[in-house]
Amino acid sequence: MELRIAIPTDFSPAAEKAARYTLELFREVPCVFFLMHSYTPSFFRAEYLLHSPGQIGLGDFYRFRVMDKLSTLRKRLQKSADNPKHRFITHAAFNTLDAELNEMAEKESLHLIAMGTQGATGAKEVLLGTHAVMVAHKSRIPVLIIPSEAQASEVENILFPADYTASYAALPWTVLEAILRQTSARLHVLHTYTAEDESPERVAGKEALAHSLEPFKPEWHERESAGLVEAINAFAAEVPVQLLVLVRNRHTFLENLLVTPVIDQIGFHTRIPLLVLPQVSITNP
């Protein structure tokens, strides 16, 4: 199977590092990489959006510049990776980043969006208000958020915090499966126990997750309920984690990270990539 992966870029060093990380992470996997850039330049006024003849030429000029930069990036990545399993397509569009990626996901049958994030100081600066988290919040397909410090060659332990509220049987597993097969990493499932875990819905959620992950023989870890953020931090202090897998739905940990100050409590996220899996109920509203 050939993975189809979009790699947004703003042509910054962090974006190029994220692209190289992605190529290395899937080095043994046949892939088509869509190097893409979306733009809404400040000099475009409303008359451009209304197809004013005076503005159309300016937009075309900007697009030509973008495509030229994408072509240069493609050649640089191809030369350094020199991987016959990988193909590249360049794509530029006048659109917001999240909207363009969702359109591409449907049109190009994408499996993943992989993008970088700057390693700024302080959790809010890294995750809140960034393009990466905006895309992860709205994407209909999995999103891999890659800090500039991450090294794909070091992926040995993957942590999957689970609260059993998600519809795990319907999650898009293709990308995680490819990463596990490529890296031979150990998959750790982390759960913090609460009294609600005895409910039929959560019992069914746990069974569905166990069934989905059975081929990868995950290690299961149960912790007393002290909060999932604290549990993740405590686990990462014991076991070096190189990839964190989170499920996006309206009731789980990731949603809280995106909308509440609890993100301030995470001290390790600036160096650990996040793989965000959307639920089918969200991907197909």
Which are the contacts of 219, defined by CB distance < 8 A and separation ≥ 6?
A: 186, 187, 188, 189
The whole domain housing 17 covers: 1-151
Backbone torsions φ then ψ of 156, nearest 5 degrees: -120, -25
Whether the predicted pLDDT of 75 surpasses 60? yes
Name the pairing type of β-strands 274-278 and 143-147: antiparallel
Helix, strand, coil percentages, rounded to 5, for the chain: 50, 25, 30
Same domain, 78 and 173: no
CA neighbor of 93 nearest in space, from 39, 47, 15, 33: 39
* Spatial distance between the Cα atoms of 252 and 239, rounded to a whole number of angstroms: 23
- Say whether pLDDT at 169 is over 80: no
For residues 214-243, average pLDDT: 84
Same domain assignment for residues 197 and 117: no
> What pLDDT, on the 0 to 100 scale, is given for residue 235?
87
Reported as a pLDDT band with limits 50, 70 and 90, residue 249 is low
Of 151, 174, 209, at which residue does a domain stop? Answer: 151
Q: How confident is the model at residue 243 (pLDDT cuts 50, 70, 90)?
A: very high
Q: Are residues 273 and 132 in the same domain?
A: no
pLDDT of residue 267 exceeding 60: no
Tell me: do 102 and 164 sit in the same domain. no
- 243 and 280 in a single domain? The answer is yes
pLDDT at 37 over 80: yes
Higher pLDDT, residue 186 or 124:
186
Residue 144 near residue 274 (C-beta atoms within 8 A): yes
For residue 281, the surrounding DSSP H or E stretch is: helix 280-283
**Shared domain check, 165 and 145:** no
Per-residue confidence (pLDDT) for residue 271, from 0 to 100: 66
For range 2-24, the mean pLDDT: 94
Most distant CA pair in the chain: distance in Å? 65
Q: Is 190 exposed, middle or buried (0-12, 13-18, 19+ CB in 10 A)?
A: buried
Look at 112-126, 168-182, 190-204 and tell me which has the smallest mean pLDDT: 112-126
In this predicted structure, the answer to whether residue 263 has a pLDDT above a threshold of 60 is no
3-state secondary structure of 146: strand
| Cα 75 to Cα 217: distance, rounded to the nearest angstrom | 39
Residues 133 and 167 in one domain: no
Query: Among 151, 171, 197, where does a domain finish?
Result: 151
Q: Is the pLDDT of residue 107 over 70?
A: yes
In this predicted model, what pLDDT tens digit does every residue of 128-165 receive, in sequence order? 336 777 788 889 999 998 988 888 888 999 999 888 87
pLDDT value, residue 130: 63
Domain check: are 212 and 140 in the same one?
no
Assess whether 71 and 55 both reside in one domain: yes
Question: 31-35, 48-52, 271-275 — which one is most confidently predicted on average?
Answer: 31-35
pTM: 0.84
Rounded CA-CA distance 149/14 in Å is 9
Same domain, 120 and 21: yes
Mean pLDDT to the nearest integer, 60-69: 86
- What pLDDT, on the 0 to 100 scale, is given for residue 171? 86
Q: Given 134, 151, 168, which residue is the final one in a domain?
A: 151
Which H or E run includes 66?
Answer: helix 53-81
What kind and span of H or E run contains 193? strand 186-193
* Section 199-228 average pLDDT: 86
Q: What is the CATH number of the domain that holds 10?
A: 3.40.50.620
As for how many domains the chain has, the answer is 2
Q: 16 pLDDT band (50/70/90 cuts)? A: very high
Residue 41 has pLDDT above 60, yes or no: no
Q: In Å, what is the CA distance from 67 to each residue of 15, 40, 76, 92, 132?
A: 16, 15, 14, 6, 22
Q: Taking residues 31-40, what's their average pLDDT?
A: 92
pLDDT at 52 over 50: no
